[in-house]
């Protein structure tokens, strides 16, 4: 074709395309807002003046991250019309498990949408990107915030700490700051006497870390309930403080929380499987260096305590998991359930873990998923539990507790108070753990009882 014919032909083609395609109206300026801690949303496309197509984004907008990391969203709507339904169609999910979001008019009081306002359009588990969440609601106020689950940022942590800072047993210090945001990685110590200058040899130590995965907010509400019981001026609180010192990192991945990530820090590192430490806490030669946030916990938190003589009894790693809506919280113990393959130390640890999980279940008024095969994955990944095992063997009951975002076996969507009550049950289980009044849990033979449940998949965790 002669050159001078090309341009008119192209223009004609564009004119035809423009006539066929409906051009979406532009979004009103400033309707959507993510400029706050944990704010997150990907692309926004207006369909009409009351309907938007929204997509979740990758942590740090990093396209190299697995789709399964894409779970969190938290955004505000500004100057929206009230009293008539708006439709928000969310897609880009990395999980095919149904999601029931929450909304708030003040970012203090949150509630789930009513089931009639939400339609989860399911998709094959292998293709979560095809799932869609459609929210249709007439809001009562022109400013509203919407999130995947109840948000919990440094702001909520401070609001909680303000309710307990008067306690003489609580001390706070900063282990390090997030390399991207400068937010403090805090260590909360609960002990009696408070802020003891030296390790107390008659106390056992409990290490708790939460929010290595920043979007897993459910674990923070659990931690609130647990801390309230440990700090309480009652028989349980006094008994716990007489026997234990609690060392608690409430938000490990401070940068990820500030930036609205679900799974990683600002450098797209997964802090959970990057504990590349030798048993003495130094970085492992030949492995990628641990991220600064993990170094902070190890070198400013755990190691100085161990060197000073602290005897840890329990290391709890708090997480939250995408799951079937009715799945309750669950533990991820070590070694699975094949006692024939155990060493004595492995058997001892398994028994302690199983007993601890049973105690939590006994004290919680909701269900806990039965203790199940934890598999060997903790030995194959650089999880904190792997390091505790390498360093302390069965002396430390190191295990992960996963809360879930759904109904959790309660028959209704989980509320923060349900999670706080689970945290109280964990405190009660710790108090009962070493009181010598109960027999160790038997190890079930393979294939019997509750231990038949399958090992958790990567998506579950
Ligand atoms: Zn997690």
Q: Is residue 15 part of a domain?
A: no
Q: What is the CATH number of the domain that holds 210?
A: 3.40.630.10
Last residue of a domain, one of 147, 177, 205: 147
Q: Is residue 459 part of a domain?
A: no
Q: What is the CATH number of the domain that holds 142?
A: 2.60.40.3120
Same domain, 112 and 168: no
Ligand 1 centroid–CA 353 distance in Å is: 19
Q: Is residue 460 part of a domain?
A: no
Over residues 23-40, the mean pLDDT reads 79
Pairing of strands 244-249, 204-210: parallel
Evaluate the omega torsion of the peptide bond into residue 193 and state whether it is cis, within 30 degrees of 0. Answer: yes
Last residue of a domain, one of 147, 163, 189: 147
Residue 380 CB contacts under 8 Å (≥ 6 apart), including other chains: none
pLDDT score recorded for residue 374: 64
Over residues 225-251, the mean pLDDT reads 97
Q: Is residue 14 part of a domain?
A: no
Same domain, 172 and 109: no
Residue 126 pLDDT exceeds 50: yes
What gap in Å lies between CA 34 and CA 135, rounded to an integer?
A: 18
Which of the 8 DSSP states describes residue 249? E
Q: 287 near 176, Cβ under 8 Å?
A: no
Ligand 1 centroid–CA 301 distance in Å is: 20
Which residues form the catalytic set? 402
Same domain, 322 and 229: yes
Give tens-digit pLDDT for 154-176: 999 999 999 999 999 999 999 99
Q: 151 near 38, Cβ under 8 Å?
A: yes
Which segment of 26-30, 81-85, 298-302, 366-370 scores lowest on mean pLDDT? 26-30
Ligand 1 centroid–CA 317 distance in Å is: 9
pLDDT band at 442 (very low <50, low <70, confident <90, very high): very low
Domain that holds residue 86: 22-147
Q: 393 near 80, Cβ under 8 Å?
A: no
**C-alpha distance across the termini of the chain, in Å:** 59
pLDDT band at 436 (very low <50, low <70, confident <90, very high): very low
Give tens-digit pLDDT for 336-388: 667 678 889 988 888 889 899 999 999 999 999 887 666 677 778 999 999 99
pLDDT score recorded for residue 347: 86
Q: Is residue 5 part of a domain?
A: no
pLDDT score recorded for residue 29: 63
Ligand 1 centroid–CA 321 distance in Å is: 6
Same domain, 251 and 126: no
Same domain, 92 and 187: no
Over residues 251-268, the mean pLDDT reads 98
Ligand 1 centroid–CA 183 distance in Å is: 20
Last residue of a domain, one of 94, 118, 147: 147
What is the chain's Cα-based Rg? 24
Q: How many domains does the chain have?
A: 2
pLDDT score recorded for residue 400: 94
| Ramachandran region, residue 257 (left: φ > 0; alpha: ψ -120 to 50; beta: rest) | alpha
Residue 396 CB contacts under 8 Å (≥ 6 apart), including other chains: 207, 312, 313, 314, 315, 388
Q: Is residue 266 part of a domain?
A: yes
Closest CA to 209 of 312, 278, 67, 334: 312
Same domain, 180 and 49: no
CB-facing half-sphere around the CA of 125: CA atoms within 13 A: 7
């Amino acid at each position: 074709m002669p050159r001078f014919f090309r341009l008119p032909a192209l223009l004609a083609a564009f004119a035809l395309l423009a006539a066929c395609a409906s051009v979406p109206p532009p979004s009103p300026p400033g309707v959507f807002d993510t400029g706050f801690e944990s704010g997150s949303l990907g692309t926004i496309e207006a369909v009409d003046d009351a309907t938007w197509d929204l997509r979740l984004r990758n942590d740090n907008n990093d396209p190299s991250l697995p789709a399964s990391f894409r779970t969190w969203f938290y955004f505000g709507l500004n100057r929206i019309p009230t009293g008539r339904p708006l439709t928000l169609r969310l897609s880009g999910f990395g999980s095919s498990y149904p999601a029931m979001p929450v909304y708030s008019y003040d970012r203090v009081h949150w509630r789930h949408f009513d089931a009639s306002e939400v339609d989860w359009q399911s998709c094959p588990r292998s293709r979560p990107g095809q799932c869609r969440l459609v929210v249709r609601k007439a809001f009562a106020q022109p400013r509203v915030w919407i999130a995947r689950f109840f948000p919990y940022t440094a702001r909520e942590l401070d609001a909680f700490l303000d309710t307990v800072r008067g306690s003489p047993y609580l001390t706070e210090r900063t282990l390090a700051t997030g390399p991207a945001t400068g937010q403090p990685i805090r260590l909360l110590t609960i002990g009696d006497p408070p802020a003891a200058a030296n390790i107390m040899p008659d106390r056992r130590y409990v290490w708790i870390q939460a929010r290595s995965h920043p979007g897993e907010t459910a674990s923070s509400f659990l931690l609130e309930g647990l801390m309230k019981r440990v700090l309480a001026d009652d028989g349980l609180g006094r008994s716990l403080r007489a026997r234990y010192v609690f060392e608690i990192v409430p938000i490990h991945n401070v940068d990820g929380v500030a930036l609205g990530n679900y799974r990683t820090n600002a450098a797209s590192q997964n802090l959970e499987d990057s504990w590349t430490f030798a048993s003495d806490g130094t970085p492992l030669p030949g492995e990628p260096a641990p991220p600064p946030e993990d170094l902070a916990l190890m070198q400013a938190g755990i190691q100085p305590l161990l060197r000073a003589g602290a005897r840890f009894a329990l290391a709890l790693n708090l997480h939250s998991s995408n799951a079937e809506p009715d799945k309750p919280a669950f533990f991820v113990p070590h070694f699975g359930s094949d006692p024939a393959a155990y060493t004595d130390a492995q058997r001892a640890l398994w028994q302690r873990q199983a007993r601890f999980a049973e105690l939590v279940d006994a004290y919680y008024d909701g269900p806990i998923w039965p203790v199940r095969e934890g598999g060997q994955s903790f030995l194959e990944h650089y999880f904190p539990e792997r390091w505790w095992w390498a360093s302390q063997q069965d002396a430390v009951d190191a295990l992960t507790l996963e809360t879930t975002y759904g109904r959790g076996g309660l028959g209704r969507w989980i509320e923060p108070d349900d999670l706080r009550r689970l945290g109280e049950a964990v405190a009660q289980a710790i108090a009962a753990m070493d009181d010598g009044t109960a027999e160790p849990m038997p190890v079930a033979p393979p294939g019997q009882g509750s231990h038949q449940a399958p090992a958790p998949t990567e998506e579950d965790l």
